[in-house]
Structure 1
């Protein structure tokens, strides 16, 4: 450990200068908005993250840093305003006694379709996990076009490069907060979970973490050709050519507006057919450089077998996305066939879900199919392929249900963070938590903390021929073998390929 990292109560030394945190409830200090890289605008726009400038004196870190350019306004979280530029910051939650050093580090990557969100969302507060014995870190990074748009002559996947830079900051600074730089777990949900999968196979992130937690990992990745097609559409909407000079001339707020317009237009005029049903126009780009390969194939080759992996998905991922109007689902058999064609899914999947859910309305079958296509099957395969390649992997599914609030996308996160009372959590979980919910939250939080500390979440690992599944539910959890209802068999020979322009099957 570095010598005397803590100068006084709540003051810590970093490579950039001294920082002062504030109390974050019993037994935890929060140090918020610490720069890990320079503002990615002006001469640094669209470039790899650059070193943050240092400062003199003690920097007060009582507030989250500005969030990346976006139009989203999320409950309890800050919004982006034109002129906010110092968007590359980390936050650290430090438990009392961490000065003795050697605590496991939990590094969180927020979700938001690679387009919106921030580390300041209330359900991502790290205090409860810190009280469980972890040093918790979260980060902001570039999203939307600034982070994932293709710009000629500039690197793709800049948001992933930001995350890797934040992990370098952790390696260089976390000892000052009592954390062990050799025991870092990187974790994320939705596009944050997709980011985790990408980081596992990126050379830029190699050796920066020991374990990975990925909840609801999206199956979507773009080819370079599709990313370029999206850029062309956004540039046209912004009134410039799809060139570096043209795109650099457009201020961030105008690129956000153009991206939002292209997203809306995809409902009727998609860049590629799948975007008519699920218009997420930014995804990691399999460029062969920053992201060398689609993560599932890379993990199957054993490229990250030295990283322990814990994955989880919810049983009804797409019901929430349908409820908030984020996706267009089918209500007739003809529409369901169109959805399957747009997603390049074989017809036998539609037949299989009809046979497995014979009494379900078409909408329910469609949402089940979309949930498995978009998150569930891909997440499960990550664990299985990682285990078969010699890695250690664990699988869980979130099954907790209350009334009409089912086990849908994002509902598991307030439970695992221990933030059931956070602003907006009642909407995700279907009302105020009861004691069964609080008990489930304690169990899930302990599994995260145990995995981050030792690599063991508390149930058997996936093997080359068995897939034990922890089912998170109330009042009691369960441990089962996979494929108890036949859905996995329906998916057995279906491939997941990066998305490309063109018609279905192209």
Structure 2
């Protein structure tokens, strides 16, 4: 049993670790709290059961081994803690923010289990936060970026309560991948999160912050699909389930319409909004001007980010030169960039060029750009790339695609559903790679030193990168395409 500031909670002890699940850090964000900033959770009497994950946020996704959302479950703002059972000394805290395109996922996914990182010497916290329209949709008169505000509230809970679990509130590292990594970039640049964490790990950071005009236009489309007015009253009159279903219909419309612009290729409707309050500027620009300079930053991207999206069919295939040119135009990429990619990949099929260009545009080049901005402003920054490759049991290649790095860093190679991400059961080389990545994260969270040199000259033509690979890691320069993206910022046209 652990006594928090709101009440006592009893978890379980497993092999020397105390696992406490489903702890409220804020009140249920529905009813009077809907579309508002997170409100304080109510204290409770007696001992709360902490043996099960809390409900997931509204979404339509059904993920392997994870609970699904049900409309009758409202207590979605909960977190989980893996901590030493003996309370021998305060441990560094690692706070994990899950990904999922700001639209799906939860802390209850099997590949997000905190056991391995806790065994490496950390107190691990994972949390749920509002997703989709509930978390990132624009509602007139209500705060934007409610999902980010939830994460900040969870970090405030860590500040106030984690010492009761054996964690050190003065040594907190935030970590996340994809939307989780994007959230971390936003938190680093947000004045509302200042002082709540001291280091940051961001994998596969998406270039996905939207101006308020984009969010307002999207609200009109979702409201129309839900049959309500795009006003506060109209959006409040639509149930969370109605807005999930309406959002899915808007996604389907973009996916089915090749003339619908950049959302046709990557139908991520929601993301952090440049609202002038929680998020005043794009994180790259904010970090370049010194925001979060005191925070040590470790970034990573995978070699073939967009291969996953192609594999799961979440984006259309581009197989013609005309389609490739349309994609570049829809994303606001300069024509000469496409020509340079074509020259570098002269013998590659069009699909491979498209996947390389899209993966770099949305994730890889943006992740490195974020790191360089932080380093240029004087922040300690460490670069890495995940390039683990092998052959599938059927003889096909295993790609280092989006999210393939997560089970290695969290030590969850045997979790339900992970074999799809990793291309099959883990072998001895895979387990050795996972141990190296866990050690690096634990060392970084403890001391700020992951095991390789920080980025010292982001303007150099050749930027050194620590490469995670099997059987052994190596050091390389940034990829050839990285140089092509050096001065390119995506500028997609307005929402269509």
- TM-score between the two structures when normalised by the length of structure 2: 0.97
- The Cα of 1:402 is off from its aligned counterpart by 1.8
Q: How does 1:367-382 map to 2 (within 5 A)?
A: 367-382=355-370
- Please say which of residues 227-236 and 399-408 is displaced more in the overlay: 399-408
- The Cα of 1:96 is off from its aligned counterpart by 3.4
Which SS does the other structure have where 1:100 is aligned?
coil
CA distance in 1, matches of 2:21, 2:259: 39
**Partner of residue 448, structure 2:** 455
**Partner of residue 72, structure 1:** 61
Q: For the Cα contact (< 8 Å) 1:230–1:271, is it kept in 2?
A: no
- The Cα of 1:388 is off from its aligned counterpart by 0.8
Which SS does the other structure have where 1:312 is aligned?
strand
Q: Deviations over 1:17-69 (max 9, x none)?
A: 01111124x22111000000000000110000000000111111000000000
**Partner of residue 47, structure 1:** 36
Q: How does 1:137-216 map to 2 (within 5 A)?
A: 137-216=125-204
CA distance in 2, matches of 1:358, 1:56: 68
Unaligned runs of at least 5 residues, structure 1: 1-10
Q: For the Cα contact (< 8 Å) 2:331–2:490, is it kept in 1?
A: no
Which SS does the other structure have where 1:317 is aligned?
coil
Which SS does the other structure have where 1:409 is aligned?
coil
**Partner of residue 465, structure 2:** 469
Which SS does the other structure have where 2:472 is aligned?
coil
Q: For the Cα contact (< 8 Å) 2:152–2:193, is it kept in 1?
A: yes
Q: How does 1:414-493 map to 2 (within 5 A)?
A: 414-465=407-458, 466=460, 467-483=463-479, 486-493=480-487
Unaligned runs of at least 5 residues, structure 2: 392-396
With over 3 angstroms needed to count, the CA separation of the structure-2 counterparts of 1:271 and 1:357, relative to structure 1, is: closer
**Partner of residue 257, structure 1:** 245
Which SS does the other structure have where 2:174 is aligned?
strand
- The Cα of 1:502 is off from its aligned counterpart by 4.9
Q: Deviations over 1:3-28 (max 9, x none)?
A: xxxxxxxx11101101111124x221
Q: For the Cα contact (< 8 Å) 1:426–1:432, is it kept in 2?
A: yes
Which SS does the other structure have where 1:130 is aligned?
helix
Q: For the Cα contact (< 8 Å) 2:217–2:495, is it kept in 1?
A: no
Decide which of 310, 313, 317 is 1:325's aligned counterpart: 313
1:494 aligns with 2:488: yes
Moved over 3 A (4+): 268-272
- The Cα of 1:328 is off from its aligned counterpart by 1.8
- The Cα of 1:174 is off from its aligned counterpart by 0.4
CA distance in 2, matches of 1:172, 1:270: 50
Which SS does the other structure have where 1:397 is aligned?
strand
CA distance in 2, matches of 1:89, 1:215: 23
- The Cα of 1:488 is off from its aligned counterpart by 1.9
User: CA RMSD, aligned part only?
Assistant: 1.3
Q: For the Cα contact (< 8 Å) 1:183–1:210, is it kept in 2?
A: yes
Q: For the Cα contact (< 8 Å) 1:384–1:463, is it kept in 2?
A: no
- The Cα of 1:420 is off from its aligned counterpart by 0.3
Q: How does 1:67-466 map to 2 (within 5 A)?
A: 67-97=56-86, 99-269=87-257, 273-403=261-391, 404-465=397-458, 466=460
CA distance in 2, matches of 1:27, 1:348: 58
- TM-score between the two structures when normalised by the length of structure 1: 0.95
**Partner of residue 27, structure 1:** 16
CA distance in 2, matches of 1:308, 1:272: 40
Q: For the Cα contact (< 8 Å) 1:223–1:500, is it kept in 2?
A: no
Which SS does the other structure have where 2:281 is aligned?
coil
Which SS does the other structure have where 1:423 is aligned?
coil
